[in-house]
Structures are given as C-alpha cells and as structure tokens.
Amino acid sequence: MKELDISFVRSQFPGLSGEWAFFDNAGGTQPAKQVGDRIQDYLYNTNVQLGASYEISQLSTQRVAEAQQTWARVINAADPVEVVFGSSTTMLLQSLSRSMVQTLQPGDEVIVTNCDHEANIGPWLMMQKHGIEVKSWKVNPDTLHLELDELERIMTEKTRLVAFTHTSNILGTINPVKTITEFVHDRGAMVCVDAVAYAPHRMVDVQTLDVDFYVFSLYKVYGPHYSVLYGKKKHLDKLPGINHFFIGNEEIPYKLQPGNVNYELSYGLLGITDYFDRLYAHHYGNGHEKLLNRLHGVYELIESHEEHLSHLFVDFLKSKKNVRIIGEPMAEGSLRVPTFSFIVKERKSSEIPLLVDPYKIGIRWGDFYARRLIDDLGLSDQNGVVRVSMVHYNSADEVNRLISILDTII
C-alpha cells in the first residue's frame, strides 16, 4: 500500500509554513490553498446576486450549483437537493429541529445521547416546549460505548428520531452507524447523525449508511467556515419550510436555507475536492477514475498515516501511569480517529496546554461543547480533559516533538 507523502501534503496548506504545530484540529483544520483560491476567484470575478439574466449572474449561479452537486457526489447522496448548506452544524440542526417539530405530535419521543456535541442535543431538547419527550441514551460508564441494549430499553413505539454521533469529539471512538441505523429503522424511527469529528478522517457514504439526516462542518474538513446537512429527499419533501412564506415547500433545499447560502463559501468548497484531486494525482497518477474511487484512494492514505501517528501518541500516553485516556485506549483506525482526550492524575487539565504553548504547539483543554459527557464522567472539577487532535497533515516529527515536551510536563 502507498504511503502518504507528508511533504507534498503540507505544501498544500499555507497555514503550515510557520513555526506552529497544530493539534487542535478537531476544533477546526487549516484550509487547503485551493479553498482560498476558489473563494478569492468568486469574490473578485462573480460576486453578484444569483438568478438574474445577465451573464455574470448566470455564471455565479452555476458556480454555487456546482458546489452543491459536487458535494452531493462526495457524500454519495442520491440527489443534489439532499444537500443543505449552512453557517455551522449548530445552525443547521437548529433549523432542522425548528422544521421537524411541526411534523410531530405531543407525546412523540426523540432520543439524544450524552456523548454528543451540544449541537446535536440542544435543538432536540427545545422540542420539549412543544410536548415532545426527549430521552437520553447514555454511554456505558465502564466501556464508554453506546450500547444497543440500552437504546432498546428506552425506545418505544412513540420514538420518532434517534440523534447520535458518528464519532465523539471527546472519545474519538467510531460508532457503528450502519448497525445503529438499521436497529432504529427496524423500530420505525429515523436517525440524525453528527459526523463533525468523523468526516475529516474517513470517507462518507450516506447511502451505504442509510442515514436519514447527516451533518458535519466543512471548516474541519480543510475548508471554509461552513457546514453541510444531508437529508433523504423523502424526508426533506415533508418538512415545512422555514424560509420566506412565498418559498414553496417543494423548493428543497432552499426552504431550509433562510437568507440563502453563502455564495463565496459554497464555491470555496470546490477547493476541498481540488485538493483531494491533487492528492490523488500525486500518489496514483492522473487517471479517469470516478470521484468516489479517487476519494476512496485518498482516504486510504489518510487513515493509514493517521493510524501511524495514533500509535506513536497512544504508546506514549500508556507509558504514563498517571495518565488516563478518556475513550478507546487503542490506535487502530477501525476503532477510532486520532482525537485523543486524557487527564493527568491530581492535575487540572487547564494546566497542561499553558505549559505547552511556549513551544509553539497548539493543544487544548475543556469540555469541547460535550459538557453533558464531561459532567457525567465526573471531570468538570478537573476542568475537563486535555485534547490532542491530529489530522493527516500532521507529521510524525510534530507528534514526537509534542511527546518530548509532554514527557517533561506530565
């Protein structure tokens, strides 16, 4: 199997040319150069309103449509109208909840987890104002896994939706989304999956997963501050619009995009696929493979490289008797992504990053908006966890540099 050419990768990210090593990538990755190029091109050459008859407006309209069509193919959606763009995962899920609650009845049930980012919990809890019962599916406190036996216990014939994460931004564990989705569908409910912590590391195929709704942030996938929500067309068709009253319910995804999309950021998303294409061509040559085949090759390179980095870091953490890994204490890419949370015995988590900062390495501490999980694990008084989150543009040299510094601190 081919190995990732890390020098080539890093040359595609202008933000990596300085002294800093970035290990806060679960909060946001560096953008590929191609993203900035696309955004600048749009702003300088086609920055007009969509839908007019004149030539520049027609080109602008085509560019935004191309972004939606391309990202439908990236995630293997069946139809481009199944792709809804928005400013953040939080806002997209609030919009979805605001629309969906109009289709539910008092006494209907929604299930959330205690290990999700608040973005996939808070919007569903707001449904309680409308008489919807919201239940919590909690991780096993010993294994920190979401278990189907517990979901079986709390689901009823009134359950309409189960919202859960593909990968917790604290635990890093990859949940079996396809298995969970089949389980939920067999009981007559839908799923809404937050993939923010998953999408930077693994290829997404919404049709294979058979998910009803699936959402992630593109500024964590080497792009601009923007996000995407996938919804099966049959579900989006039934949702009431939250846009202007004269936007028909048949106009998807526009009816779920108040104020329309951000044009330049939408076009900028094509820079992510430009980067992946360059990565593919560099390693495999310029062929005529379909987009999904190219993406498969790219993500194989990414997973293998990230697993190598993970082994380096997990082995180090395990060597420290005063360190507890919060999540899967393994490095295998089949089990987790390279987002590592840990605590140091008798130390506040807030102490550690401050001691690392002078070495120009960015790590972070806190609850990372997964406060319910941090509270349930009894880690709030410790100021949450220390988190080191890697992506494929991190190098083994950077990881070893971080390890040598942490070794003197913890």
Averages of pLDDT over each 10 residues, the chain, 410 residues: 95 98 98 98 98 97 98 98 98 98 98 98 98 98 96 98 98 98 98 98 98 98 98 98 94 95 98 98 89 96 98 98 96 97 97 98 98 98 98 98 97
What's the CA angle centered on 285, arms 284 and 286, to 5 degrees?
A: 130
Whose structure tokens read 């763009």? 85
At 188, list the tokens.
């007559």
For position 289, what pLDDT does the model report? 87
How many Cα atoms occupy the beta-carbon half-sphere of 222 within 13 Å?
27
Q: Which long-range contacts (CB under 8 A, 24 or more apart) does 372-377 make?
A: 372/114, 372/115, 372/118, 372/121, 373/114, 373/115, 373/139, 373/168, 373/170, 373/171, 374/170, 376/114, 376/138, 376/139, 376/141, 377/141, 377/326
Pick from 124, 274, 280, 302: nearest CA to 204: 302
**Is the bond preceding 253 in cis, omega lying within 30 degrees of 0?**
yes
CA atoms of 409 and 405, how far apart (whole Å): 7
Quick one: DSSP state of residue 167?
A: B
For position 243, what pLDDT does the model report? 96
Map out the domains of the chain as residue ranges.
6-32+290-409, 36-272
Q: Give yes or no on whether 6-32+290-409 and 36-272 have one common fold.
A: no
Domain 6-32+290-409 -> CATH class: alpha beta
Amino acid at 165: T
For position 287, what pLDDT does the model report? 74
CB-CB contact of 201 with 303 (8 Å): yes
Neighbours of 147 (CB within 10 A): 13
For position 1, what pLDDT does the model report? 74
For position 363, what pLDDT does the model report? 98
What's the CA angle centered on 367, arms 365 and 373, to 5 degrees?
A: 140
CA atoms of 158 and 176, how far apart (whole Å): 24
CB-CB contact of 367 with 121 (8 Å): no
CA atoms of 52 and 59, how far apart (whole Å): 10
CA atoms of 121 and 94, how far apart (whole Å): 10
pTM confidence score: 0.97
CATH number attached to the domain at 36-272: 3.40.640.10
